[in-house]
Amino acid sequence: MTIEGDFSPKVVVTSRSFSKSAVLRKELLRVFPNSIFTDHHQKLLGEKITEFIGDADAAIVGVEAIDDSVLKHTTKLKIISKYGVGLDNIDLDSLKNRAVFLGWTGGTNKRSVSELTLCFMLGLCRNVFGSSFKLKKLEWEKDGGHQLSGKTVGIIGCGHTGSDVVKLLAPFGCNLLVHDIVDKSNFCQEQGASQVSLEAVLEQSNIISLHVPLTKQTHQMVNTNFLQKMKPTSFLINTSRGKVVDQEALKKTLMQEDICGAALDVFVEEPPVDKDFLSLPNLMVTPHIGGNALEGVEAMGRAAIQHLVLFFKNSIKNKI
């Protein structure tokens, strides 16, 4: 990957995890020597992200919000290259209106997320998390839970990650129920799964795993009504987006033990601050690490770099 000619675009990287990767920094600088990386420990917000992007020609963006309040001050910006797969933090209409190109590739970190999802499923079923917490307090309670094998697993959202979870579950002989707004009948037939209604997923599943993007339709789709329809012995897993779940409704449900437990990698507010919620014994939490396995980080980073390379190569060609 090289950029020919004298033009050296100014590239800023707002993503903290990209900036912390020595491998990705080296690879980006090799192609775009005029690159600047964030050294902030917190996510860039508001004026800070506007100031950081400044007069850059391109930005590699992770979870930072990019909307018109930012873009109206970054007038030299030609391309936003997405580090990651979710686009809910980027105002696509504003990009279009201001003629800023978007570089994005879906599914680059799907295996990283799907492996964490499988980890949650096994950990919840076998009581790994609960028994570990107790043993650390010198409580010796031998409750091994139950096997994942043979259980009914509901996958809500069967895109890149959801479909990969289905494939990872193949050796466990689970009864796989898939719900998606897109026809997945061919995929389900290949994988021995069934595409069913949302009602069927809620009523029949021992485990429900969420793999949907954050949209107007999915915002707080997991609400009180959703949770009340789940089996009392079931588990909920969310490795998609925090705002897909009504966190207060889930908190109440877990406190009342209306479902058996939940595991979350994503939250409405990140980092979360509700200590009472986080400390619930039937809730397992991780700090949004689903897509951040080393291999996932590098795959997302390389995809973002490649979008910049292709964009500026085409820009140079069009000028000749």
**Average per-residue pLDDT for the chain:** 94
Q: What is the pLDDT of residues 81-124, one digit of tens each?
A: 999 988 999 999 999 999 999 999 999 999 999 999 999 999 99
* Confidence at residue 1, expressed as pLDDT on a 0 to 100 scale: 45
Predicted TM-score (pTM) of this structure:
0.91
pLDDT (mean) for 32-57: 91
pLDDT (mean) for 133-158: 97
Percentage of the chain lying above the pLDDT 90 cut: 91
Q: What is the pLDDT of residues 277-298, one digit of tens each?
A: 999 999 999 999 999 999 999 9
**Of residues 241, 248, 302, 307, which has the active-site annotation?**
241
Residue 146 annotated to the active site: no
Q: Write phi, then psi, for 299 (nearest 5 degrees).
A: -65, -45
Q: Which domains does the chain have, with CATH numbers?
A: 11-108+294-319 (3.40.50.720), 110-285 (3.40.50.720)
* Confidence at residue 314, expressed as pLDDT on a 0 to 100 scale: 87
Q: What is the pLDDT of residues 47-92, one digit of tens each?
A: 899 999 999 999 999 989 999 999 999 999 999 999 998 899 999 9
Residue 270 annotated to the active site: yes
Residue 25 annotated to the active site: no
pLDDT band at 43 (very low <50, low <70, confident <90, very high): confident
**Of residues 111, 160, 179, 288, which has the active-site annotation?**
288
pLDDT band at 42 (very low <50, low <70, confident <90, very high): confident
**Of residues 47, 51, 257, 270, which has the active-site annotation?**
270
pLDDT (mean) for 154-179: 98
